[in-house]
Structures are given as C-alpha cells and as structure tokens.
Structure 1
Amino acid sequence: MGEFRTLYLDMDSFFASVEQHENPALRGRPVAITAVDGTNGACVAASYEAKAFGVKTGTLVRDAKRLCPEIVFLPSRHRLYVQYNLRIAAILDQMAELERIRSVDEFQLRLGGAASELDGAVALVKAMKQRIATEIGQSIRLSAGIGPNSLLAKIAGKLEKPDGCQWLSPRNMPQRLSHLKLDDLPGISKGVKAKLYKARVWDIEALYRLDPRHARLIWGSIEGERFVRALQGADIPLVTTERHGYGNSKVLAPDSRPISQAYLVGRWLVEKSASRLRRDGRVAKSFSLSVSFLPEGGASLRLRCEASQDTAYFLKLHRQLWEAIWRRHRPRQAISVSVQLGDVSLLADRAGDLFAPLRPAEKTTGEKVSELVDAVNARFGKDTLRWGENRPHHGFFERG
C-alpha cells in the first residue's frame, strides 16, 4: 500500500457552475444563488466571477449589488444540484472506490494500487476532471486533495481553488499549512480553539507536535486524540455516529412567510421527519420547534414526550408549541422554520405499558395508522394521503 489512501474532491462554486452550464449565456458572468430574495436576502453561493468582486457565501443581496452591479441573481434549485451530484458520483464510482458523498458538492474516495502513490493519484485526478468536463460540461470543475486520511485530504482540497490539486502527508507537514490559522482547519471550532489557546497551543505547528494523549485531555474526549493523530498522518477511519434526531429546516420563500403559512410548512416538515423516523425503526422522546422572525428575533421551544413514531401525535405537539410562540411573541412573519424529533431510540427497545395496555416494542394504534399511510404513499405516490393541510416547501424556493 502506498503513502496515500484518500482522495477528497470539492466542486468549485458548484451551484453557480451548474446554472452556468444550464444557461450558456451566464458563462463568464458573475452569478449568485440566493436563499432569500429581495434586499434582505443573502447569497448561498457565488461564481468565481462574482467572487473576484468580493461576493461570497453569506453576502447580503444589497451588498452584492454594490460590490458587483452586473451580478445575476438566481433562486436556488436544490434538486437540480442533487441530480448533478448523482451524475458526478456515478462517474467517480467507475474510476475509484467512492467511499462517501460528503455533501452535495463534496466526495471522498478510497485510493489503492497505483493511485496510492502521488504520481498515480495526480493522474487519477486529471482523468476524473477530463471525464466530468467531457460527459457533463466544461463549466463543472473541481479541486482535489490527496492525503493519507480523510482529514488531510480535505484540508489539501481547500488549498488550491479553483481547478486545483494539492497533497498533504508527513513529508510536507506541518510546514505546508504554516500560513493557516488554527480555526482554518475543519473541526476546530471557536470552543476548541479557546481550549487550545488555554493549553498554549497557538498555531498549527504546535498542534501538529502535540502528544495525541494530551490532545484528548484538551478536547475532553477521544476526538482530540483522533484529530491530532490524523493531522500527523495516521490512517484514522471515519466513525459511524449514532443518530440522535430526525428533523429538517427551511428558509422560507416570501409567500410562505406569513405565520399562518409558516405553520403549514412546519406541519409538512413534521410529516417528513416522522416518516423517516419510522423508516429506520425508531421512536423519539422529544420534540423541538424553532422559528426565526422578520424583521428579527426568534423562538426555540422543546418538549419531552412519550417515546413515539406517530405522526398525529407529533403534529399535536407541533401545534402546541406554535400556540406558545404566538402567545409570547405575536410574530407576523417568519424567515425560517425548523422541527426536530430528538432523543431517539429503537422501537424494538421500547418498554411496554401495563395500563395502555402495550407490550414491549408493540406499535400503538396511531403508529399503525402512520405505517399504513407510509405504505399507501410508497405505492401510489407521495402525498397520496396527507395528515390534513400542509404546505410543501422543497429546496430553497423550488416548486413541485
């Protein structure tokens, strides 16, 4: 086995690049993708032509117009970007072992054989770029990171953009990252950075030289030791984390911002989350609702509840929390809504209830009805049966 085991691919300005590929008239022009329209909105992505003017993710629309008067704003089409993600993934999986799709614009692949040596990995990246350009389009570009593990490969993938290819290993570490700050590294949050400063670890070189056992003490968990060992080049495998909740959040389109409409979007999110909970054979013991208001402010409430996977039960809790928010804040419009079914565990592990009566792992009547609704929708199409009135809100502002 050679020195390198992981290839990390980061698509360049992916959302904007897809839009430029779809519409040739946009190629070479500054483009920004928006999550919220109007002057109160923000950019969720920008083309490199727009970035040259200082427009980036999070830039307000009004500021982007000031920085780049010729910029073109487009609403996000998230499902379109997912379609391109799947097309790219199919190409990559033919050329190497696609280990994980990290996000809609990031891919992680396992290297082996000739590609585990630097020359072979670089050649593989070149071939991947060529196939994507030929089979999808010249506008779709990527930057690559090559490393002995996923952490170093990911960091390397950010070093040269766009259309770059860089590598990291003990051969060029930590000097290759001497220009970066601690919190430029993925996984170093403000809290972790504060802990490192308290331990007199001021820069990446000091972090790299740290005894991994000391890092465990600084972090307060095994993750500190894992992080430093990976930074030092050890092949630290990804840990499969246990899922603690099911939920979703939406930045609302203008016609969904009135509170009455935002409430219906929340109902739709509850239905989706509860269906996924049942699909995985789990129950939730808490329900949370968060709402951000216009022009500012917000509320976040949480309830402990019976361990359940019953959609009707969660919709009842959803209404209860909305009523509490209305009594306290009287908001007129919302900018975003989030629901979360938390404290999850397996239905198979749920204890029985002598007074219900309910045997261990037995489903309630409501849960059986929910399961039947899932079966009907799976056979005849989603939303064939719905739990009363709701308001679907796909993507950012996408319809359908």
Structure 2
Amino acid sequence: MGPFRTLYLDMNSFFASVEQQLDPTIRGRPVAITAMENEKGCCVAASYEAKAFGIKTGTSVPDARRLCPGIVFLPSRHRLYVRYNLRVAAVLDRFAELERIRSVDEFQLGLSGEATTLPGARDLVTSLKAAVAAEVGACLRFSAGIGPNHLLAKIAGKLEKPDGCQWLGPENMPDRIAHLALDDLPGISRKMRARLEAAGITTMTRLCQLDPRHARAIWRSVEGERFVRALQGEHIPLLDTQRGGYGNSKVLAPEFRRPQEAYMVSRWLIEKATARLRRDGRTAARFTLQLAPMGAATIAGSIKCAPSQDTLTFMRINRGLWRAAWPKIRHMKLAMIGVNLTEVEMLSNRSGDLLRPLRPGELSRAERASKAADFINARFGAGTISLGLNQPHPGFFERG
C-alpha cells in the first residue's frame, strides 16, 4: 500500500475554535462568527456545537438565533485567525515538510521516510494532533487526509470530521468515495457537474474511470486531464500560478450603502490594492469597478491605461467610472462594490517613456510618492497617510 506522498490537514471549525480557545466560558457552547455586528449579517463560521443545530456558513443571524436561541455571536477577527494559522504552521513544520499553507485553515505537508507508509503516516498524524493541542491549544483540532497526491489527500481529509484521519489510494478507490456527489469534490462546480453529466459522467465511479484525454475535452482544458489523473492516484504536482490581478471587494454595511459613502469606500479599497501592487513590484494596465445595487443588476466599468502602480492614477480612473454610473445609482443603495487592477506585469519589464522622460523599469515621480506613503504607513500604522479622503470599511479581513 502506498507510497503516500501528501498529508492534508483541515482545521475543524477553525475560527470558532480559536475564539473558544481564548475564552473558556464559551467552550462546549454553540458559537457563530459573523461578518457584521448587526442582525442583518450572516454566519461566516460556526462551532460544531452550533452546526448540530443546522447552523452553517451563510446562515443569517436571525435564522441562527431561531435555530439555536442560546447561540453566542462573535465578530470575525481575521488577523487573529491568521496569527493562529502561523502558530499551527510552525508546529507542523517541525515534524514534516510544510509544502503549502493552502488557506487560513488548511495545510499541505509532504511525506517522506516511514511516513510514506500508512502506519507511519497515521503515527505522524497522532504526533501532530498532540503537538498542536499542547503548543497552540486543546480546542484546535483538525481532520487529516493521507494520499499519493494533494487531490486525494484533500478529499480524504473531508471524509471524517471532526478530528478524523482517513486515507485514499488506488487500493480503496473509487469505492471509498462512491457515495459522494460529483460536486462534492474540490474543483468541480455545479456548472462543471452539469457538463460532466451532459457527457454521461453521472457517478463518482464513472468519473474515476474516465479516460484522462476525454476529461481534457470535457473540461476544455488540460486541467481536466490533470484532475482525473490525480483522482486515479498519479502524482500530479500543483502548478505555481501567476497572479493576474490585484483587487478588493466589500459587502457594504448598512451605513455605507448610499453611493456617496460607497464611493469613499472604493477609494480606500484602491489604496489597499495599489499598496499590494507596489509591494510585489508590479504594475497594472487596466482598472475595473463593480457596483452591485440592491435588487438590481451589477454595473461594471473598465478602462485601460498605461502600466502604473500609482494610487492617484487609479483614483482618477475610479472617479470617472463613478461619474459614468452616477445617473443609474444616485437614488439606489449599493450592496457591494469592488475594484480590480489587472493586466499585471513586473515593473522591471515596463518600457521607458521618452516624453516623460522615464527609463525602462524606473518609478515615476507620482509612484515614488505612493511608495513613500507605503513606507510611512508600514512604520507608523495603516492610514497614517492617505492620498485624499477615503472611508475605511474594516470587516472580515481587517479586524483582530
């Protein structure tokens, strides 16, 4: 049996577990983490005690309160959860090769030596569970998946929750996952499921037995072939992806849904996105604005520009797009706004400009000013310097 190459760890109710670890008074009680601190918000995470009442991600606060009158609601603190993610990662990396932090609550480890056998991998999982409980917190538990590649290990990690440990390989496939629906697998959306069913692939067994070349045709991409080969147990490494854009979107709190306030939030989102663009030494040549009025279709506008990493350049484009949309939205409330910087390339690859003048890969005067603002904000705190007025909208990813 084996060899096994990958161990996938999925933290159990991670956000709620972190809160329970910090506050002993809510341990063993139903807890829900909310994105907004009001009755119009929804749950972004729930403890297993809350899940027993039918509460899950997306359940509205009123529905959660109706399902479980004694539930404890807490605002999300993403920065706190990231800090705990890094603490868990540090523990894991002492025992095995931490190949990837796949998300704030998922980790991928490479197996070697005795751990490539099933008994060895299980012993490693036991050691990891004990170390995380002792060094990070007894409330922090995870389900583990063992497999010959990242896909089977990830699927195995979802089979027994919470605090489980399962394995998948050619020896127990496809029978071990025959009960799953096609879109239970990571990477298969409802749209892809419909495409598979149209091709006659209606069960997990048929998907696992699919000719990889046929999968490429169904997916209309080589990713279909890679997916099925991994499902069949081949060692298919993850490919490094190239970043295609920098963006931020925000579901607006009620006090920011008027267009006047939402516009100021969009300026704040641009400052955050352009700061990340500069941090990575990149430029963007297209700016897109998305506005989602409540009860109406989303409005989107996009403008191409010279490659830049200057905040004020994208602020001016943003203002123009808002002016164009204003007649449609001026009397409406907005549920969500988003900004996106795309057509990204490295600053070092940018051509020079004889008229400015600007040498290849050189920062413009405005870009140097933006970079100086980044330095001051990094040293003295976010928002110390802003390029004009904006409206911060702290929420899921900012608190903690």
When normalised by structure 2's length, the TM-score is: 0.94
Partner amino acid, structure 1, of 2:151:
L
Structure 2 Cα separation of the partners of residues 251 and 15 of structure 1 = 20
Does the Cα contact within 8 Å between 1:36 and 1:252 map onto a contact in 2?
no
Give deviations 1:252-308, integer Å, cap 9, x for gaps: 344444433332222122112112112222111111122334466543322222211
Cα shift at 1:390: 2.2
**Matched-pair contact (CA < 8 Å) for 2:152–2:168:** yes
Alpha-carbon deviation of 1:173? 0.3
| CA deviations over 1:151-178 (Å, ceiling 9, x no partner) | 0011011111011111101110000001
Indicate the residue corresponding to 2:90 in structure 1: 90
Identity of aligned residues (%): 61
1:348 & 1:35 partners in 2: Cα distance? Answer: 39
Does 2:222 match 1:229? Answer: no
Indicate if the aligned counterparts of 2:34 and 2:41 stay in contact, CA closer than 8 A.
Answer: yes
Residue type of the partner of 2:41? Answer: G
Give, in whole Å, the separation in 2 of the partners of 1:115 and 1:153: 14
Task: Answer whether contact 1:2 1:113 (CA < 8 A) is retained.
Answer: no
Change (3 A) 1:390 1:279: same
| Residue number in structure 1 paired with 2:117 | 117
1:31 is aligned to 2:31? yes
Task: Assess if the C-alpha contact under 8 Å between 1:208 and 1:228 holds in 2.
Answer: yes
Q: Distance in 2 between matches of 1:121 and 1:309?
A: 47
- Please show how residues 103-182 of structure 1 align to structure 2 within 5 Å: 103-182=103-182
Matched residues in 2 for 1:171 and 1:285: separation? Answer: 50
Counterpart residue number, 1:47:
47
Contact 2:76 2:399 in 1 (8 A): no
Instruction: Give the deviation of 1:351 after TM superposition.
Output: 2.7
The answer as to whether partners of 2:259 and 2:330 remain within 8 angstroms in 1 is no
Q: Distance in 2 between matches of 1:102 and 1:399?
A: 21
In the TM superposition, 1:201-350 aligns within 5 A as 201-294=201-294, 298-331=298-331, 333-350=333-350
CA RMSD of aligned residues (A): 2.1
Q: Does the Cα contact within 8 Å between 1:252 and 1:396 map onto a contact in 2? A: no
Structure 2: gaps (5+ residues):
none
SS in 2 for 1:166: strand
Deviates more, 1:263-272 or 1:82-91: 263-272
| CA-CA distance at 1:130 after TM superposition | 1.1
C-alpha distance in 1 between matches for 2:153 and 2:35? 30
- More displaced, 251-260 or 154-163? 251-260
Cα displacement (A) at 1:332: 5.2
Counterpart CA distance in 1 for 2:391 and 2:2 is 53
| Matched residue type, 1:307 | P
Aligned to 1:63: 63
Distance in structure 2 (CA, Å) of the matches to 1:55 and 1:258: 31
Query: 1:18-47 CA distances to partner (integer Å, 9 max, x unpaired)?
Result: 111111111111111111343322110111
User: Residue 3 of structure 1: SS of its match in structure 2?
Assistant: coil
Q: Deviations over 1:330-375 (max 9, x none)?
A: 2554343321101111222223334444343333222222223233
2:81 & 2:154 partners in 1: Cα distance? 21
Aligned to 2:385: 385
Which amino acid is 1:385 matched to?
Answer: I
Letter in 1 for 2:289: L
Cα distance in 1 between the residues matched to 2:295 and 2:193:
33
* Larger mean Cα displacement after TM superposition, 365-374 or 222-231: 365-374
Could you tell which deviates more after superposition, 333-342 or 200-209? 333-342
Contact residue 78 and residue 399 of structure 2 kept, 8 A: no
Structure 1 residue 99, shift from structure 2 partner: 0.7
**Hey, what's the Cα distance between the residues in 2 that align with 1:72 and 1:379?**
37
Paired positions, count: 400
TM-score, structure 1 as length reference? 0.94
